[in-house]
Amino acid sequence: MREFLNIFSLEGKKAVVTGGAGVLGSAIAKGLGKAGAEVAICDIADTGSVIADLRKEGIKAKGYYMDVMDRKKIESCHDEIIKDFGKVDILLNAAGGNMPGATTSKDLSFFDLPLSELQKVVGLNLFGGAIVPSQVFGKTMAKNKEGGCIINISSMSAFRPLTRVPAYSAAKAAVSNFTQWLAVHFAQEYSKNL
C-alpha cells in the first residue's frame, strides 16, 4: 500500500493556494499537505484557523494576505512566499465566487444588472482567480528544473450555466478555456506542462 501512496507523494513540494481560507481552497490545501507538500495559504480573509487546522494534522503551512484583485498584492505575496519557501511547485487558484449585485432575482432582472457588478465577478473569477496569479507565480515556476503544476478551479457552471448568475457562469467558462490555453502554451513554449 505504501508503494501506491509514494506514486502520489508531494514530499518536498511547495504549494500555493489562493482563496485558501475558503471551503474548497482549505480542503484541497489539506489534501496537498497530507500528500507531503508544504502549503502557503493565501487569502484576503484571515488564514489563522485554516493554518491551525493544517498544523494539527502535521502539515507544514503558513498564511499570507493576498488580495487577488490587486496585482501588486499578488506580487508582494509571491515575493514573501519565495523568501520563505524558496520555490513554488504547485499553484492552486481557488479564489473566486459570485456577488449579490451580479445575481438576478425577482427584483433585479438580467437586463438591469449593473455592468460594474458584472465586471467585479468576472474580474474576481477570471483575472484574480486564474490569469494574474498564473502570470506572477508561473513566471517563477517556469524556471523550475522539474516544472510545476497550475490548477485553476472552475465550476460545472462553466459547462451548464446556473440560473441567476450570468457573470459567474461566463467567468468560469473563461477560466476553463484559459486553463486549456495555458497547458498548450507551456507545453509549446517551455516543453513542460506547468
Label each residue of the chain as H, E or C.
CHHHHHHCCCCCCEEEEECCCCHHHHHHHHHHHHCCCEEEEEECCCCHHHHHHHHHCCCCEEEEECCCCCHHHHHHHHHHHHHHHCCCCEEEECCCCCCHHHCCCCCCCHHHCCHHHHHHHHHHHHHHHHHHHHHHHHHHHCCCCCCCEEEECCCHHHCCCCCCCHHHHHHHHHHHHHHHHHHHHHHHHHCCCC
Q: Tell me the backbone φ, ψ of residue 160, rounded to 5 degrees.
A: -140, 90
Q: Which cell numbers in the block locate residue 57?
A: 494534522
Provide the residue type at 43 as one letter. Answer: D
Residue with cell 484541497: 28
Whether 65 is catalytic is no
Helix axes 115-122, 166-190, angle to 10 degrees: 40
Question: Tens of pLDDT along 123-144?
Answer: 999 999 999 999 999 999 999 9
Identify the structural domains of the chain with CATH numbers, from first to last. 11-190 (3.40.50.720)
Residue with cell 432582472: 109
CB 93 within 8 A of CB 18: yes
- Give the model's confidence band at 3: pLDDT under 50 very low, under 70 low, under 90 confident, else very high: confident
Q: How confident is the model at residue 182 (pLDDT cuts 50, 70, 90)?
A: very high
Supply the pLDDT for residue 81: 99
CB 140 within 8 Å of CB 82: yes
pLDDT digit string, tens, across residues 24-62: 999 999 999 999 999 999 999 999 999 999 999 999 999
Average pLDDT, the chain: 95
Residues 6+ apart with CB under 8 A from 86: 14
